[in-house]
Amino acid sequence: MEIGGLLEKLREEKPLVHHITNMVTMSECANVTLVAGGLPIMAHAPQEVAEMVSHAGALVLNIGTLTPAQVDAMVLAGRRANELGLPVVLDPVGAGATSLRLEAAKRLLKEIKISIIKGNEAEVAIMAGGAAEIKGVESINVSGDVVELAASLARDTNAVVAVTGAVDRVTDGERMVEVTNGNALMATVVGTGCMTASVMGCFAAVEKDTLKAAVAALVTFNVAAELAARNSDAPASFKSQLFDELYRLDEQTIKTRQNIKERMINQ
């Protein structure tokens, strides 16, 4: 898969990325959007979300610290994004950890056309109707084939599904792309998953092929993590370096370091 030129396009167009997101990681999501090349806005009030998304290039929804009122705002924003043909990224944080989270995620999938679903293995498995163990927001165990569950969810929702883990997998139900870039220190920093969804929103705003956009976002963010880890061996300094390396990243470095494998499902 050719993802060259998308980072440059993102930085040229500087799309506004509207977030209704996790209160724990809101600052990190805003910062990562900015250093990647987009413009962040975190607008949650039901009275303004439809108007705000009208000015955006993409919408990112994250249920990490959800409330029923926030989900209502997500539906309003999502419907407006659908009317305008804007991509919507859903991060179903902790789906399955409580009934509220799972019901909220299912409601969003029912009432909004989602372009990209990004989750860890347990979140995706549970959303697909499979069995998994999740502790808080961390994936502990999945029963069944994650690839097949992700592909099934993609086919059922007509969305691209991105499963993050030691190896990231992205599928549209027919194609599967594996991204093996990244670094273990990413798991020591709260919010790297949320930030990944934000970067996906950035790329989806400038690339209509949502599979390609999701892959480009993962490669870009994960390559930045690899570079950050060269100068850090602990979480706090790694987080700082991650923003810096993403800000400094260029197309040639991505091309040199990207590690992508593409195949058809069941082949």
Binding residues for substrate: 42, 191
- Both tokens of 207, joined, read 């690339």
Cα gap 221→196, rounded to integer Å: 7
∠ CA 58-64-70, rounded to 5°: 70
Compute the CA torsion angle 222, 224, 230, 233 (nearest 10 deg): -70
Measured distance CA(169)–CA(9) in Å, rounded:
24
Q: Which residues are annotated as a binding site for ATP?
A: 118, 164
Number of Cα atoms under 13 Å in the Cβ half of residue 14: 4
Binding site: residue ranges? 42, 118, 164, 191
Query: For residues 114 and 199, what is the distance between their CA atoms, to the nearest angstrom?
Result: 16
